[in-house]
């Protein structure tokens, strides 16, 4: 698949989304109409556009906390050194894990104190099957050991190493849009970096041009979703993305396979679903534009994937393939997590059963 195959991918994703949408509506015996007069809870219709992206809204308070890993150590120290989770009122954004004996061996932050997503997953485990998106480390009360604060990726799409947003509450539809806007803002930097790396590695200019086009798309997406966040009463929260140093072609290929080929392709499918299910006509129209853009971004990921395969040896390609297969299974697990009713009803996101059906229809193509 290459950027030129975006039309084929669009046809596939729309066929899946529209086919399942028709099945879902027939089963319910009703049709959801898109009406701007039925705009949802706590709407400030005249709210001004917001320039800074931000955060999400959390599932119910009675969900389990992070599945913290156990730190290896001598048998006598197992209980004392075991990682201990600390829940908060904002599970998606501020779960904490205390390592009484300090960080596990071999895990140290990079430049600027940033951890990679793989390190955060190792330190934080998962929350309701969501992998850790970012994490930071500090000192717990008492000054002994390490306190790791974990943010979880409550959604789909291309993630970026070193992403972090301020600690905020997650309690509404506006907060969900603000979270999406933050991810879209981070994607601006991710595609900027992709274009620079592709050019440095001598990739075809068509791939570089598509990466720069995707960057411009994400600027628009961040602004659009920020305006919806403001409309539903959410205030912007700043985010940061730690600078990324040079990395190997294999590391970039692994990230692209996981974040682009798997997560972004499914994210584009979800956007098409939202364009049919969003309760508000303005939102549905915006999602149609975003779905079309995200389909091109997913096609770009597959184009980059195909080119990188020609640059790597057999062993490296096998490792990238293993990471992609693991990402497919991880995504399957994530989709079992429930979403808040407001996000399903007003934003049009698929409920768990629908998400499972979408994934099942797309999985053969992901494989």
Q: What is the pLDDT of residues 197-213, one digit of tens each?
A: 999 999 999 999 999 99
Mean pLDDT of the residues in the chain: 76
- Is residue 62 pLDDT above 50, yes or no? no
- d(C-alpha 295, C-alpha 7), whole Å: 9
- Is residue 70 pLDDT above 50, yes or no? no
Distance of CA 305 to the CA centre of its chain: 19
- Cβ neighbors of 318 (< 8 A, separation 6 or more) are none
- Cβ neighbors of 310 (< 8 A, separation 6 or more) are none
- Which run of H or E residues covers position 95? strand 95-99
Q: What angle do CA 129, 93, 162 make, to 5 degrees?
A: 90
What pLDDT does residue 316 have? 97
Alpha helix segments (H runs only) across 202-259? 205-231, 249-255
> How many other β-carbons are positioned within 10 Å of the β-carbon of residue 321?
14
Q: What average pLDDT score do residues 243-270 get?
A: 91
> How many other β-carbons are positioned within 10 Å of the β-carbon of residue 255?
23
Per DSSP bridges, beta strands 84-86 and 95-99 are antiparallel
Pair 127, 66: CB distance under 8 Å: yes
What pLDDT does residue 101 have? 86
What pLDDT does residue 278 have? 92
Higher model confidence: residue 288 or residue 21?
288
**Residue bearing tokens 């399942």:** 20
Q: What average pLDDT score do residues 82-97 get?
A: 62
Pair 125, 64: CB distance under 8 Å: no
- Is residue 289 pLDDT above 90, yes or no? yes
What pLDDT does residue 105 have? 85
Count of all residues that appear for the chain in the document: 367
- Look at 75-79, 189-193, 215-219, 276-280 and tell me which has the smallest mean pLDDT: 75-79
- d(C-alpha 85, C-alpha 96), whole Å: 6
- d(C-alpha 333, C-alpha 153), whole Å: 13
- Look at 13-17, 171-175, 202-206, 309-313 and tell me which has the smallest mean pLDDT: 171-175
Backbone torsion region of residue 273, taken as left when φ is above 0, otherwise alpha when ψ lies between -120 and 50, otherwise beta: alpha
What pLDDT does residue 144 have? 82
Alpha helix segments (H runs only) across 130-241? 173-200, 205-231
Q: What average pLDDT score do residues 28-38 get?
A: 37
């Amino acid at each position: 698949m290459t950027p030129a195959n975006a039309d084929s991918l669009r046809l596939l994703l729309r066929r899946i989304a529209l086919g399942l949408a028709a099945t879902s509506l027939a089963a319910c015996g009703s049709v959801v109409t898109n009406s701007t007069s039925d705009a949802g809870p706590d709407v400030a219709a005249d709210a001004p556009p917001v320039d800074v992206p931000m955060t999400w809204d959390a599932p119910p308070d009675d969900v389990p906390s992070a599945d913290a890993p156990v730190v290896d150590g001598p048998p006598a120290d197992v209980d004392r050194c075991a990682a201990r989770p600390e829940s908060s009122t904002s599970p998606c954004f501020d779960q904490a894990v205390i390592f009484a004996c300090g960080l596990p061996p071999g895990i140290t932050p990079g430049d600027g104190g940033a951890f990679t997503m793989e390190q955060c997953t190792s330190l934080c485990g998962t929350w309701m099957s969501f992998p850790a998106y970012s994490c930071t480390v500090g000192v717990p009360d008492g000054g002994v050991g390490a306190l790791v604060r974990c943010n979880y990726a409550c959604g789909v799409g291309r993630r970026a190493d070193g992403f972090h947003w301020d600690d905020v509450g997650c309690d509404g539809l506006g907060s969900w849009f603000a979270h999406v806007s933050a991810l879209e803002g981070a994607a601006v930097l991710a595609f900027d970096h992709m274009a620079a790396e592709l050019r440095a590695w001598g990739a075809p200019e068509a791939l570089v041009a598509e990466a720069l086009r995707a960057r411009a798309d994400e600027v628009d997406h961040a602004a659009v979703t920020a305006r919806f966040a403001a409309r539903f009463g959410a205030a912007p929260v700043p985010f940061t993305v730690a600078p990324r140093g040079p990395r190997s072609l294999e590391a970039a290929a692994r990230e692209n396979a996981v974040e682009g080929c798997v997560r972004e392709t499914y994210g584009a499918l979800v956007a098409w679903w939202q364009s049919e299910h969003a309760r508000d006509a303005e939102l549905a129209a915006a999602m149609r534009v975003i779905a079309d853009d995200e389909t091109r971004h997913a096609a770009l990921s597959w184009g980059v994937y195909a080119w990188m395969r020609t640059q790597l040896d057999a062993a490296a390609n096998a490792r990238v393939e293993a990471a992609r297969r693991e990402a497919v299974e991880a995504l399957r697990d994530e989709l079992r997590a429930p979403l808040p009713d407001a996000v399903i009803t007003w934003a049009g996101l698929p409920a768990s059963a629908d998400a499972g059906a979408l994934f099942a229809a797309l999985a053969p193509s992901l494989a």
